[in-house]
Structure 1
């Protein structure tokens, strides 16, 4: 397989960002196809994903990964579907691809795959069966439901004269299509080991089946049109290999169950759709004579929603996909992370969910993250404000504020609905920033009045001290934080009891955010005719001490942490990108000369094409490689790995100092290449710290997309 793209022709590629396509050639390099992925989501935490050639290269891949307790409790139910086509002459073509332990690829359907494209957010896979026929496969999910549609359309590749001749023999134009689903029933972090004696409970409905892995397991449905028949097979496929998990040092294989085979006759111009659903009661039309009509309505709903997202993001009313295809692509990528977080009673009593802008959250990254407070607040300006989704931004701010405990919003919500975790010093401060951005965009002072008592209480908790040693040092007004064995900043990698970058003390970006929060509170208190003296005094104290405490004269930049481990005068001089926030968030904390010097050093040592390194290569603990087992990855996460989201504060700092947008667009263009390079149409979590800076980590990360989108809008005004 050869990917027909040239990284040097970026200006040619960017206009194609909306009609994003990858053309493929005759299986010459199947490895490239195994390295590229696709993703669709359903707005409640569920998703479908796989490699573009069809193999499940991760244990997280699946056509139906359902969020049974939205947006968490994800279960892998259907991993994939293999397709077989019987041509009119009797030749059997196997279009699927499976990789087994030991490296065997069987079947090798990638030889028929000619292109993969994105139609909005719907991946379309085009297979050339012979010189006459091509088969298109499309995958999308119902918004707000754990339901996936897998649709097949057969087309003739003939000119008009040849088509006219072929109409005389319509029967010969009919193919036999077989669909072979592979099923599981497990948490998405786990794997399955099958057993010859383990038979799934499969209820055969003729053209449908209801599947349970065992008594008490979640039930799900495979629903086909009446012309398609289901034949039970009851087979295990053993030792399916997951190469991405092998690279990550995790269990790299599992067994998958084949409940049966769906089969139908398919003529040119026909469409057939297999629907996979974990809903208790799928639509009654599915599986009936109205099956394809029901699917067509679902597709229309999906397409209308995509058009609405673009219309909301394009304030001028023009066609966004034509005017700015990059922005249109990023707007759709942003939508994949926005999800509902309903209350427990609402979820149980009202299914399917009646989705509204209320109680929204942001999935931090696919495939393995759920919603995190820090990621949600950092991502909000890009995912929701830059896309015009103001009511959802409002709902998200209210939702997280409702979970506030001792002045802190949650760091994360565990997968199975347990009590939220609050081990974060910066997530709450990022909420002040997100709220300020929201208010400047919408002038929704009613929301400010509603949340202000909680914000006041939060500041008071920070002053007197709250969880994990988070509190104000009365000597300099700076915020300190730290507790043994706990990671509190965004540099939060941990391996068992080893906190890789503990950063206990007074971190630089935390105090830039603290200053920002105090400044915002002072302004808001004045607007609400409330006493602002406390916030003014604290803000002034922080401003008086920030530069003198953080400026590292010998290096010409800011210490990353001062008073390390609460020891006065013990400072961490690691050259990291965190200091950029002292420039990007405000002009008040540093002199222009100091800011310019910092930006120059960051540009020389941390800036790379896909983002900023987390540590200078000159540091003795710098990691030149990211990928590897858990200890290698977590040890490198914030000790060198490149983070695309950090291009945001870099662009902000650059604009504040130079006020020149023309020089900034080229900085964003290399990041945009990743729309074609890893998971189609989105941006990964991190990249390797050295050339060629290969994407790594989560294949789709909220704040990576958010900051690229926000900055793209910023530099293209």
Structure 2
């Protein structure tokens, strides 16, 4: 039995099935995303969503959906589904679904009377092309399929309305047509491996609604253009392959293209395999280099998110070459930024104060995976340059004080990962001064560089410099952050100490070189376990702290205010689990294994086979935000590898 299979009873229950989404990417920025019944519930959903760099740095929905109709004895049975005003769903194609299986590729099996039809979707790697294969499993008489493409040609964050500007022109291509609705967009090619009949029958379908956007209190209704329909007879056992892409394809090669692509896929037959597949979907390769995108369906490439996610999304799933390709690109970006102080156009946020420290942490994880010598030879110069850049006072917003700690100004703009902002851009949580995770990462970076350069004669001046600062930083860290209750202040600015119990201290507890001793780490870990731990990660604020709100719901402003007031973040479990095993040894393994059950349960919820951006801080811990988030996937992969290879602790 498939690990990810859903039967007819769940599929026809829209209250359940509309909240389960499927995502596939091409590792070049394009993606396909919708619900498991094929009804789009977000404006970012679509069959073919691609970046169009000629227009902007956003994604754009070209092909929103493809409605199939089965025709037997002159009777049509439409397999599509859209939501309209008044909670009306039309057509009701979901009632024909017998089962849905996405072990290898998303596969629907439909039953319409005596017809059993299988539909399988696959994205071509590094190409803006999606293939859909239709196989007639059973039929007792002649069967014809019709295909109606719903076109959008819009920014994925906007909505389309009926207009007279949209071009209705199309050109015939081999076994299909090509069209482009607006100037500046690439041409969309829709082709089959068998010759269809195209009937030009242009219509606007008005008032299609997206319930997820409606829940968020943002515009949620749009009109989509259908130029006509394709019609093709299908024979039992003879597959029909549909291609939608931004270039013309050799239609004779479509069947082989599909088969070759499917061979490279890891079947989603386990919790680990689901996360491994999900991790690969965040990889982005462009002409500018290699990156990790922060999440889908609306996030972009963001430096901090990339470095938090990178080791887990690559090394923990045995993809070392991908780690190296992504880090090599980052090393070039860092070098340019340190010389010019100009933010990188592609790796957004490279100038944020903690980003260099996260990058050094990545190299530390790489050294665990390989060796100190290999890490030093490949990335030592980058790490050394970043540390000295900060020590020499060249970073625009990270200074080293006389006590060895690093200080940052977050009064005007958010500077940490807790970056919720007011409408005027000022931070909702003005974390300024000595931030606990910044200083934990700073101390760890100083100690790691001493480790990898130990015994390298020509670097002993640097080593002595780093050692002197780290000795002061360790003492100052404990004096500054550790309070009488055993937990760590979240940030300290002059005489002000933030008393909120937040999860940032877990980084100080769970990093390789912690400035805390074992007893101090255990006491802090007890507080974290008691007040912040949930089955879906660590809460961003303790229920005992002022302002606790575990529900990430409402309009955009309400959600922004609730972003860091109690919602749970799975990625913090990486540091928590690492700390727990280091403090409690083998006795902590069974506890961490039990905690993983809560994440495995999520494989069939929300974005199936992946992890959502965040979860409510109170039961039932519902997934919210982006349906797939790189940092969460990466750190749970790290935990799974930790449990398998305890010698890395």
Cα distance in 2 between the residues matched to 1:606 and 1:197: 53
Residue 460 in structure 1 maps to residue 388 in structure 2? yes
Q: CA deviation at 1:574?
A: 0.8
Change (3 A) 1:410 1:244: farther
Residue 267 in structure 1 maps to residue 226 in structure 2? no
CA contact (8 A) 2:613 2:627 kept: yes
Q: CA deviation at 1:334?
A: 1.1
Match of 1:517, SS state, is helix
Q: Give the alignment's Cα RMSD to 1 decimal.
A: 2.4
Cα distance in 2 between the residues matched to 1:480 and 1:239: 52
1:373 maps to which of 303, 317, 335 = 303
Q: CA deviation at 1:399?
A: 0.6
1:385 maps to which of 299, 315, 319 = 315
2:483 maps to what in 1? 552
2:217 maps to what in 1? 249
1:213 maps to what in 2? 181
Cα distance in 2 between the residues matched to 1:206 and 1:273: 13
Superposed counterparts of 1:649-664, under 5 Å: 649-660=575-586, 661-664=589-592
Change (3 A) 1:484 1:588: closer
Superposed counterparts of 1:489-504, under 5 Å: 489-497=416-424, 498-504=426-432
1:691 maps to what in 2? 619
Superposed counterparts of 1:151-550, under 5 Å: 151-156=133-138, 172-195=140-163, 198-205=166-173, 207-279=175-247, 282-283=248-249, 285-286=250-251, 290=252, 294-307=253-266, 325-343=270-288, 359-404=289-334, 407=338, 420-443=348-371, 445=373, 448-474=376-402, 476-497=403-424, 498-526=426-454, 528-529=456-457, 530-531=459-460, 532-550=463-481
Superposed counterparts of 1:546-585, under 5 Å: 546-553=477-484, 555-563=485-493, 568-585=494-511
CA contact (8 A) 1:471 1:480 kept: yes
Q: CA deviation at 1:502?
A: 2.4
The one-character-per-residue Cα deviations of 1:581-614 (angstroms, maximum 9, x if unpaired) are 1111135422322222211111111111111110
Cα distance in 1 between the residues matched to 2:386 and 2:148: 55
CA contact (8 A) 1:84 1:92 kept: yes
Match of 1:38, SS state, is strand
Superposed counterparts of 1:612-631, under 5 Å: 612-631=538-557
CA contact (8 A) 2:389 2:395 kept: no
Cα distance in 2 between the residues matched to 1:274 and 1:444: 50
The one-character-per-residue Cα deviations of 1:677-712 (angstroms, maximum 9, x if unpaired) are 111111111011211111001001111111111111
Superposed counterparts of 1:102-113, under 5 Å: 102-113=86-97
Q: CA deviation at 1:490?
A: 1.0
Cα distance in 2 between the residues matched to 1:208 and 1:514: 58
Match of 2:170, SS state, is strand
CA contact (8 A) 2:410 2:427 kept: no
CA contact (8 A) 2:117 2:134 kept: yes
Cα distance in 2 between the residues matched to 1:253 and 1:524: 57
The one-character-per-residue Cα deviations of 1:165-198 (angstroms, maximum 9, x if unpaired) are xxxxxxx532111111111212222221222564
Q: Which moved more, 1:380-389 or 1:222-231?
A: 222-231
Cα distance in 2 between the residues matched to 1:663 and 1:609: 12
Cα distance in 1 between the residues matched to 2:467 and 2:607: 47
2:595 maps to which of 667, 676, 680 = 667
1:126 maps to what in 2? 109
Cα distance in 2 between the residues matched to 1:544 and 1:244: 49
The one-character-per-residue Cα deviations of 1:642-681 (angstroms, maximum 9, x if unpaired) are 1111111111111011112122111011111111011111
Q: CA deviation at 1:124?
A: 0.6
Q: Which moved more, 1:626-635 or 1:451-460?
A: 451-460
Match of 1:558, SS state, is coil
Q: CA deviation at 1:453?
A: 3.3
1:143 maps to what in 2? 125
Q: CA deviation at 1:227?
A: 3.1
1:96 maps to which of 62, 80, 93 = 80
Q: CA deviation at 1:488?
A: 1.2
1:632 maps to what in 2? 558
CA contact (8 A) 1:407 1:462 kept: no
The one-character-per-residue Cα deviations of 1:59-112 (angstroms, maximum 9, x if unpaired) are 00111111234995422100111111112x333211110002332211111111
Change (3 A) 1:206 1:331: closer
Cα distance in 1 between the residues matched to 2:10 and 2:325: 49
Cα distance in 2 between the residues matched to 1:651 and 1:215: 52
Q: TM-score, normalised by structure 1?
A: 0.85
The one-character-per-residue Cα deviations of 1:431-460 (angstroms, maximum 9, x if unpaired) are 101011112212374563354333333222
CA contact (8 A) 1:552 1:573 kept: no
CA contact (8 A) 1:67 1:146 kept: no
Cα distance in 2 between the residues matched to 1:629 and 1:249: 5
Q: Which moved more, 1:636-645 or 1:587-596?
A: 587-596
CA contact (8 A) 2:303 2:349 kept: no
Match of 1:658, SS state, is helix
1:356 maps to what in 2? none
The one-character-per-residue Cα deviations of 1:358-415 (angstroms, maximum 9, x if unpaired) are x32111100001211111111122111011111111111111111115559999976x
Change (3 A) 1:341 1:439: farther
Aligned length: 637
Match of 2:158, SS state, is coil
Cα distance in 1 between the residues matched to 2:18 and 2:343: 32
CA contact (8 A) 1:211 1:220 kept: yes
Change (3 A) 1:587 1:464: closer
Match of 1:85, SS state, is strand
CA contact (8 A) 2:271 2:603 kept: no
Match of 2:208, SS state, is strand
1:8 maps to what in 2? none
Q: CA deviation at 1:489?
A: 0.9
CA contact (8 A) 2:12 2:94 kept: no
Change (3 A) 1:268 1:390: same
Change (3 A) 1:413 1:262: farther
1:168 maps to what in 2? none
